[in-house]
Structure 1
Amino acid sequence: MPRRTATMLASMLVLIALLCAGVLIKVPYAEMSPGPTVNTLGDHGGEPVLNIKGHKTYEPSGGHLNMTTVRVTSADYKMNLVSAVSGWLKHDSAVVPHKTLYPDDKSAEEVDEQNAEEFSASQESAKVAALREIDAPVTAHTIVSSVVKGGPSEGELHAGDVVRAVDGKRVGEDPQEVADLVTEHEPGERVTFSVVPKSKADAAAKAHRKLTDRDAREITLRTEKAPEDGRAIVGIQPGVGHTFPFDIDIKLADVGGPSAGLMFALGIVDKLTPGDLTGGQFIAGTGTIDDKGEVGPIGGIQMKTVAARAQGAKFFFTPEGNCASAAKDKPDGLTLVKTGTMDEAMDALGKIRKGDTGALRECEAN
């Protein structure tokens, strides 16, 4: 066999062996890639994404306010070396350590549950931010957000219960008030909560009725010592709940996490106000939102901008904290609009409607 032929054959065999090894070798990585985008002003799965009852609504005239998602490999997916290298070379995907998406101390079910809880919380905050933007009345109150298993409150207080008073002292909408009142006690002392059970609070909210003291019942608990600092605790995590003046139902299956908050809020405002916020333009975006309308950063920004542009978006509302990263690999034809608050997003929409796009605050790479 000629030497040249033998060398080529040997090289080919080595290459085949390396490819086989690359396929067989598993690496502890996961992949993120562009996911679906959904117009919050339209339908999804045959149902309106935003379903509002009890208030006049206005149908959009063709514009888009799309929320964006990231598709991730499943928790049990075992990536091989070839797939990892291929993912690293793509501009529209990201290969990240597996534990980034699925921490070692949490099961896949726990991760899914956390994503679902964050998605639900983002919907609540989106409603609050949107209604406050249009000066609609929203009532806030302190609730039991979670109950520590094995703690003094287990079986007595439940997630969703509304806390009206502690030891007869009225509690407002700041959850810290509950902790402050409990820690006035020494561990082992009794503390009395006045709470409205979740079922009764939900019924009142559905009827758009304000809660009163007659809805509440008193529960006395014995405090215990916090292991980290010895203060008195009752084993709950207080949070904030809201009562809305009418029904706003957000329907979007198979989506988790808090990153759609901004786009949900903008969609709600558009549905509740005359005119068209988008001016008929295709606008997409992402970002968490809190009750005060502050927009926070999210993960997977490059995948979301790619997905939005592929669907036809011309403008992308980008959280300030993601701007520098997003601008480094911006899809052609997509304007990245820097967005730090709900008010800034509304101002940007006004400029887009007027065609004054040169005045938009655009993201810039550092």
Structure 2
Amino acid sequence: MLRRAMTLIVSAVLLVGFTLAALAVPVPYVVASPGLALNTLGELDGEQVIQIEGHPVHEHDGALSMVTVQYSGGPDARMNLFTALSAWLSPSQAVLPEEAVFPPDTSAEEVTQTQAAQMDNSQDAAVAAALNELGIAYETAATVHTVSQGHPAEGVLRPGDVIVEVDGEPVADKDEVVAAVKDRSPGDPVRLLVERDGGKEEVEVGTVESGAGEPVIGVTVETDMTFPFEVEISVGRVGGPSAGMMFALGIMDRLDPEGLTGGHRIAGTGTIDPQGNVGGVSGVQQKMVSAKREGAEYFLVAAESCDQTFESAVTGQIEVVRVETLGEAVDALEAIRAGDTDALPRC
């Protein structure tokens, strides 16, 4: 009996030991938790989040808060199974495969650099979208960013060239250049007028067929924007494109004498493009928790992300408003200011 009891005890101890060891093994998962909520109308480290120079600005009550997700884990700091299981049981956290945040063969530093670039691009797009919504003109230019080796443009075009005309027709942005080049058959040449080194030069570039069967010359073109006044947005080390819509609304509030919120506290998430289209984002459940902790009354979310709101731990505790464009977001804020919220589009 004593030997049998000792065997059972030893087996139990070993089982517990193996279980604890298994729980301590690093696993390739990432935990998403509610992150920072930052009022774009307020301050960060003693400075205005949105600073505008060269145009009259205004300050108003209320909040237009961007919200973020905080990630833990990853290739350089893997969590153990116990931590992952604990997060999986939490109503405000999500457990994701590591590759959902850190693509294969990509370091954490590269991910950070990509997110920083996305943040910069989203801020430029937010300024453009805000000015478009307000009817304030700004200048655009179609600038060559890269030239592909082995394509017709190699040796003819250079990074930094500004494409002014295509086949004699003026172009002002990336979309107009792409549309003009596509308006021919693969193999046909295209005449370009470019600005280079302070002068203008006309060049002819051949075309080849892309994988999609369309004519291409072998360059990437981006739309560079020059605004009539300076807008600087400071959010610390936050990265990614998902605050674009809230940046655009914050800029508009600073430029509008009456303001957009009517003193209400609004939070939201969604990307933005210069035309004011609001795109979907991930981590909405965690962002809604951050918004609620910040005291937000309403949460603006891209229509593409509506399905995520139903899984949030705070659904029903905060008014969720669905938007597809910056104009719709502005209309929603106008209804909130007026107290006429029954017709607000909801997820």
Deviations 1:215-246, CA, capped at 9 Å, x for gaps: 54326476474574787644311232322222
Q: Tell which deviates more after alignment, 124-133 or 323-332.
A: 323-332
Alpha-carbon shift at residue 184 of structure 1 (Å): 4.9
Deviations 1:99-119, CA, capped at 9 Å, x for gaps: 111111434343333322222
User: Would you say the 8 A contact 1:118–1:256 is kept in 2?
Assistant: yes
> 2:295, 2:242 → 1: CA distance?
20
Among all aligned residue pairs of Structure 1 and Structure 2, give the percentage whose two residues are the same amino acid: 39
Deviations 1:163-206, CA, capped at 9 Å, x for gaps: 1124544224353534643885876x976543335xx8xxxxxx
Q: Which residue of 2 aligns with 1:238?
A: 221
What is the identity, as a one-letter code, of the residue corresponding to 1:318? V
Between the two proteins, the alignment pairs up a number of residues equal to: 344
Deviations 1:79-105, CA, capped at 9 Å, x for gaps: 322222122111111111111111114
What is the identity, as a one-letter code, of the residue corresponding to 1:257? G
- Distance change (3 Å), C-alpha of 1:78 and 1:237: same
Say whether 1:83 aligns with 2:66. Answer: no
Q: Which residue of 1 aligns with 2:59?
A: 59
- Distance change (3 Å), C-alpha of 1:318 and 1:144: same
> 1:64, 1:272 → 2: CA distance?
15
> 2:162, 2:202 → 1: CA distance?
12
What is the identity, as a one-letter code, of the residue corresponding to 1:334? I
TM-score, length-scaled by structure 2: 0.86
Alpha-carbon shift at residue 39 of structure 1 (Å): 0.8
Q: Which residue of 1 aligns with 2:252?
A: 269
Alpha-carbon shift at residue 353 of structure 1 (Å): 1.7
- Distance change (3 Å), C-alpha of 1:53 and 1:156: farther
User: Would you say the 8 A contact 1:166–1:178 is kept in 2?
Assistant: no
- Distance change (3 Å), C-alpha of 1:184 and 1:345: closer
What is the identity, as a one-letter code, of the residue corresponding to 1:181? V
- Distance change (3 Å), C-alpha of 1:156 and 1:28: farther
- Distance change (3 Å), C-alpha of 1:229 and 1:47: same
Q: Which residue of 2 aligns with 1:319?
A: 302
Alpha-carbon shift at residue 149 of structure 1 (Å): 5.9
What is the identity, as a one-letter code, of the residue corresponding to 1:249? E
Alpha-carbon shift at residue 306 of structure 1 (Å): 0.7
User: Would you say the 8 A contact 2:126–2:245 is kept in 1?
Assistant: yes
User: Would you say the 8 A contact 2:288–2:312 is kept in 1?
Assistant: no
> 2:185, 2:306 → 1: CA distance?
47
SS at match of 2:257: coil
The runs of 5 or more residues in structure 1 that have no matched partner are 201-214
Say whether 1:31 aligns with 2:15. Answer: no
> 1:292, 1:279 → 2: CA distance?
25
SS at match of 1:194: strand
Say whether 1:360 aligns with 2:344. Answer: yes
SS at match of 2:342: helix
TM-score, length-scaled by structure 1: 0.82
Alpha-carbon shift at residue 23 of structure 1 (Å): 0.4
Q: Tell which deviates more after alignment, 27-36 or 173-182.
A: 173-182
**What root-mean-square deviation, in Å, do the aligned CA atoms of Structure 1 and Structure 2 show?**
3.0
Say whether 1:22 aligns with 2:23. Answer: yes
SS at match of 1:276: coil
The runs of 5 or more residues in structure 2 that have no matched partner are none
Q: Which residue of 1 aligns with 2:49?
A: 49
Q: Which residue of 1 aligns with 2:71?
A: 72
SS at match of 2:141: strand
